[in-house]
Structure formats: C-alpha cells, structure tokens
C-alpha cells in the first residue's frame, strides 16, 4: 500500500496528508517521511500530530535520547562534526548540543550521506562507544545504489586503504601496504536490481575507514551513483547526491550494557531515485554509455 493511500484510510484528506508529511508529522519506522509514493507496511507508520515541526530530508531528527547517548537521523548535505569550511559551523554534533545541551563526536558520516548516527552525551559515554567501535562490535550497515548489475549475490572486501593512491584520492593498495595503510573490511550483499543498469547493495562494516564503502564499490566497478570522487562524471550526475544511506545501527548502551538497535528505511530522495530507475529513468547515465540508435531508412 502506498503511504498516501494509507494516510487517507486514517481519515486525512489528500491535502491534509501532504501537509502532515511536509511538516514532519508522519513517521515510517520512527523516521519522518514526506514520500507519499513509497510502498509501506501500515504497521510501521505513525501519525504524530504533536511532533515538532521539521522538514523531512532537510532537518535533523532525534530518534533516541538519554543521559548518555543520542541517536539521530542525519540528512544528506549536513556535516557530522565542525569543519573549517563555509557552513562548517552547522553540523550534527553542534545541532545536537544546541537541542539537548550536550554532544560529543564518536563517529561520523560523510557529508553527502544520510542516515543513522550516534552522538555521546558525556565523556564516559564517548570513551565507551569509541572502545566498541575500535573492537568492531558496533553494527553499522549501509544501503547504496550503484552502477552495474551485481555479478555475485554476496562478497567481502578485505584490503588496505591509503590516503593517496596516486591521484590524490583514497584507495586500496595491491602491493605490500605502507605503514600508514589501514585495513578495511566490508561485507556486501546485492539486494535487488534497480532497473537494468544499477543495483541496490547493502554494505555491513567490520571496520570504519573514511570513504570505505565508496572505495570498495568503486574498485569493484560498482561506483555509487552521485559520487563525485570515485565515479565517472556521468555516473556522478546520475543522482542528485551520493546514493548512500546508513540504514542500521546496533550498539551496546555505554552505561547499562543494553543492546540497542535502530533501523532507518531509505531516505526519501534515495527511495524516489530507486523507483525512478526501476521504471527505466536515466538509463544511460548509470552505465556511462549511450544506447545505440537504429539508423533511419
């Protein structure tokens, strides 16, 4: 069932449904959504008329908050931590600190990536969560829409990444890794073909290196759509932003030890891109090739 149709079964007119979605009052698996065209399980949808007003896909949303840990949904285009660049003052940690009174970084998502992110509320929690990240016990999973059809249902990338592979970009090394190389392990699974020229992949991190998923997919000839660093210009233009989304986060609470689990459906813009490609949209962009045309006689 489409989300817009489900909202009508709840008694909302079409106009009221659109208004509720655009104001951040409609939640899918706890995440605000304004995509009325997506197919949903009605049991995962909540209408919260008194929820704080926000714009889905643009504004930060707090999913979990206690005296030690804050879990947020980060929109694409928002920095994770402060940076010395234009707009670097607007970031997840800064916004969490403004909204809750506390916020310390423990990990980060790339600026163009959407999805789930943790922020510690105090130093003890920060150290405890960082220890879990170093021990690789935090579950982190991403969804990516990448160019090409999957040749294997699942595989694991296990190599060493360097800051400069020779062209100024990060990448894997084939020879003996230098001292500054860092081991990177990602477990990939092909979820579905997205049209005839792209694939939706899941990527579960064992390590968490900068650009790890982007590099691993690119070096397997599956560059992520919208990736301006590791894809060709044509594939970089095949999506309005990097088609990468942090969809699963599992962590042991830093104080109680309770296992916490969060899951976020595809961000609205990525879900709309998926549907667009499923119907054959922008086919040549995702391949970097032009379709041949029959000569007119």
Range of the domain at 16: 1-52
40 plus 62 within the same structural domain: no
Is residue 284 included in any domain, yes or no?
no
Residues with Cβ within 8 Å of residue 31, at least 6 apart in sequence: 61, 63, 73, 264, 265
27 plus 172 within the same structural domain: no
Is residue 287 included in any domain, yes or no?
no
> Which CATH number does the domain housing residue 11 bear?
3.10.290.10
Q: What is the pLDDT of residue 171?
A: 87
Our count of domains for the chain comes to 2
H or E element: which one contains 171?
strand 171-172
Tell me which DSSP letter residue 44 carries. G
Is residue 286 included in any domain, yes or no?
no
Is residue 285 included in any domain, yes or no?
no
Is residue 95 included in any domain, yes or no?
yes
H or E element: which one contains 94?
helix 92-100
19 plus 81 within the same structural domain: no
CA angle 241, 186, 105 (to 5 degrees): 65
Q: Which residues are catalytic?
A: 110
180 plus 82 within the same structural domain: yes
142-151, 160-169, 227-236, 255-264: the lowest-pLDDT one: 160-169
Strands 114-120, 244-252: pairing is parallel
pLDDT in tens, 82-132: 987 776 679 999 999 999 999 999 999 999 999 999 999 999 999 999 999
Q: What is the pLDDT of residue 295?
A: 42
Q: What is the pLDDT of residue 291?
A: 44
Is residue 14 included in any domain, yes or no?
yes
Write down the pTM of the prediction.
Answer: 0.91
44 plus 97 within the same structural domain: no
> Which CATH number does the domain housing residue 88 bear?
3.30.2350.10
Return the bridge partners of 28, or none. 31, 45
**Could you give the CA distance from residue 248 to residue 29 in angstroms, rounded to a whole number?**
12
pLDDT in tens, 176-203: 788 889 999 999 999 999 999 999 999 9
14 plus 63 within the same structural domain: no
220 plus 145 within the same structural domain: yes
82 plus 126 within the same structural domain: yes
Mean pLDDT score of the chain = 92
Binned at pLDDT 50, 70 and 90, residue 174 comes out as confident
90 plus 130 within the same structural domain: yes
Say yes or no to pLDDT of 160 above 60.
yes
Return the bridge partners of 244, or none. 144
Is residue 253 included in any domain, yes or no?
yes
Binned at pLDDT 50, 70 and 90, residue 138 comes out as very high
Q: What is the pLDDT of residue 169?
A: 87
Q: What is the pLDDT of residue 297?
A: 38
139 plus 241 within the same structural domain: yes
Binned at pLDDT 50, 70 and 90, residue 294 comes out as very low
pLDDT in tens, 238-292: 999 999 999 999 999 999 999 999 999 999 999 999 999 998 876 555 555 444 4
**Could you give the CA distance from residue 45 to residue 6 in angstroms, rounded to a whole number?**
9
Is residue 182 included in any domain, yes or no?
yes
Q: What is the pLDDT of residue 183?
A: 92
116 plus 138 within the same structural domain: yes
205 plus 254 within the same structural domain: yes
User: CA torsion sign, 170 to 147 to 225 to 55?
Assistant: negative
End-to-end C-alpha distance for the chain, whole angstroms: 47
Q: What is the pLDDT of residue 293?
A: 42
Structure tokens at 293: 């045309």
């Amino acid at each position: 069932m489409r989300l817009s149709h489900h909202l009508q079964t709840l008694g909302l007119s079409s106009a009221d449904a659109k208004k509720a979605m655009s104001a951040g009052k409609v939640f899918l698996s706890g995440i605000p959504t304004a995509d009325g065209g997506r197919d949903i399980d009605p049991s995962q949808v909540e209408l919260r008329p008194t929820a704080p007003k926000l714009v889905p896909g643009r504004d930060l949303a707090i999913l979990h908050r206690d005296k030690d840990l804050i879990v947020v949904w980060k929109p694409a285009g928002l920095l994770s931590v402060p940076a010395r660049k234009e707009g670097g003052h607007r970031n997840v940690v800064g916004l969490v600190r403004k909204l809750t009174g506390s916020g310390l970084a423990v990990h980060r998502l790339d600026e163009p990536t959407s999805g789930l992110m943790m922020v510690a509320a105090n130093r003890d929690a920060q150290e405890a969560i960082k220890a879990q990240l170093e021990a690789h016990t935090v579950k982190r999973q991403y969804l990516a829409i990448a160019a090409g059809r999957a040749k294997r249902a699942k595989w694991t990338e296990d190599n060493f990444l360097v800051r400069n592979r020779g062209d100024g970009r990060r990448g894997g090394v084939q020879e003996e890794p230098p001292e500054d190389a860092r081991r990177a392990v990602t477990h990939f699974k092909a979820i579905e073909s997205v049209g005839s020229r792209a694939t939706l992949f899941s990527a579960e991190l064992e390590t968490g290196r900068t650009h790890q998923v982007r590099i691993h997919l690119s070096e397997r000839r599956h560059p992520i759509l919208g990736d301006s660093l590791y894809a060709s210009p044509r594939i970089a233009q095949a999506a309005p932003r990097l088609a990468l989304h942090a969809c699963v986060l599992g962590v042991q609470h830093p104080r109680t030890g309770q296992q916490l689990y969060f899951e976020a459906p595809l961000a609205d813009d990525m879900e709309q891109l998926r549907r667009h490609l499923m119907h054959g949209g922008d086919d040549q962009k995702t391949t970097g090739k032009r379709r041949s045309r029959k000569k007119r006689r």
